[in-house]
Amino acid sequence: MPQHVLVPVDGSDHGFAGLEYCLASFPDASLTALSVVDPTHDHAATVGSPESPVERAQKRAERVLESAADRADEHNRELRTVRRTGTPHTEILEAITENDVDHVSLGSHGESPITRPFLGHVSEAIVRRSPVSTTIVPETTTVIRDRELPGKILVPVDGSEQAEAALAYALETFPDASHTALHVLTLPFDRPREAVQGTYLEAVLRDHEERAEGILESAATLADELGPTIATETVSGKPAAEIVDFAEANGYDQIVMGSHGRSLADRLITGSVAERVARRSQRTVTLVRGAPASN
């Protein structure tokens, strides 16, 4: 479970929603709020102002960090605040490595006009390049405050080490939550079951179903080892779309999944399914990096 969480804040409601999520979800973790002064982006340009754009941005960043500290005080939590200057996503990534951070939580978009279901420029860059597990919060602070976290957690599984790590993370970090392991059958044909009976495709379907059973059995075994019980579900279709739709249709509060699955994607590059889920989900998504610890 996270020990030191970095929370980038930019004054937007979604930025503070990332902080609200951490305050509710990680009661024992150290929290650091980061505000980045971007010299190229002047929030309050005024003709004839005696202040330079950087000076205005620095003052604004201090106000944002003060607001973050006030929110932490409401939860009786300590919050370290840091201000950096530069390109936001670059400074966030450097802050991760320089401050021994093991988790990042941020809003799905900040002050840009980009809204759901798309990630903003900064969050997109962090999702793709973060070396640590990352939580993307697309909801508002009001919704996060009203949501009884950790709630119902959906964990997509595909038999990969990353999926196993995500399941272990969800079970260990949120032992009191309701967990469901979901496997998406990706079939090489688009036909209903009755249409393939008696054909060579029936054997293909059976092979995929047996593999799905094995993956879900492994998920259940891991849950037994760690303590919490889990439910298991199987659906068919395109993984990213099915994961997002299943979470929405069944009232899940958050999705926890591996940063990439069984592909040969580099471990520092987010897999396409995970990235699509993070982009499209209306629920909070945590992308877990790293293989599960061996016992």
Asked if residue 58 is part of any domain, the answer here is yes
Cα-based angle 118, 122, 125 (whole degrees, multiple of 5)? 90
Q: What is the pLDDT of residue 272?
A: 83
Asked if residue 270 is part of any domain, the answer here is yes
Same domain, 170 and 91: no
Tell me the CA distances in angstroms from 113 to 56, 88, 108, 128, one per residue in order.
21, 17, 12, 21
Report the domain count for the chain.
Answer: 2
Poorest-pLDDT segment among 142-146, 230-234, 268-272: 268-272
Q: What is the pLDDT of residue 200?
A: 54
Coil, helix or strand at residue 281: coil
| Residue span of the structural domain in which 55 resides | 4-146
> Is the pLDDT at 36 greater than 50, yes or no?
yes
Q: What is the percent of the chain where pLDDT is above 90? A: 62
Q: Structure pTM?
A: 0.87
Same domain, 8 and 114: yes
**Residue type at 45?**
A
Same domain, 160 and 272: yes
Asked if residue 114 is part of any domain, the answer here is yes
Report d(CA 100, CA 3) in Å as an integer.
10
Cα-Cα-Cα-Cα torsion 134, 128, 267, 164, nearest 10 degrees, comes to 40
The last residue of one of the domains, among 146, 179, 212, is: 146
The last residue of one of the domains, among 118, 146, 174, is: 146
> Is the pLDDT at 236 greater than 80, yes or no?
yes
Tell me the CA distances in angstroms from 272 to 14, 105, 258, one per residue in order.
24, 20, 11
Q: What is the pLDDT of residue 187?
A: 66
The last residue of one of the domains, among 130, 146, 162, is: 146
Cβ(88)–Cβ(38) below 8 Å: yes
pLDDT tens column, 161-181? 999 999 999 999 999 999 999
Same domain, 75 and 194: no
Residue 99: CATH number of its domain: 3.40.50.620
Same domain, 122 and 229: no
Q: What is the pLDDT of residue 278?
A: 92
Tell me the CA distances in angstroms from 179 to 76, 234, 253, 267, 287, one per residue in order.
28, 14, 10, 25, 16
Report d(CA 241, CA 70) in Å as an integer.
38
> Is the pLDDT at 39 greater than 80, yes or no?
no
Q: How confident is the model at residue 119 (pLDDT cuts 50, 70, 90)?
A: low
Asked if residue 295 is part of any domain, the answer here is no
Q: What is the pLDDT of residue 112?
A: 47
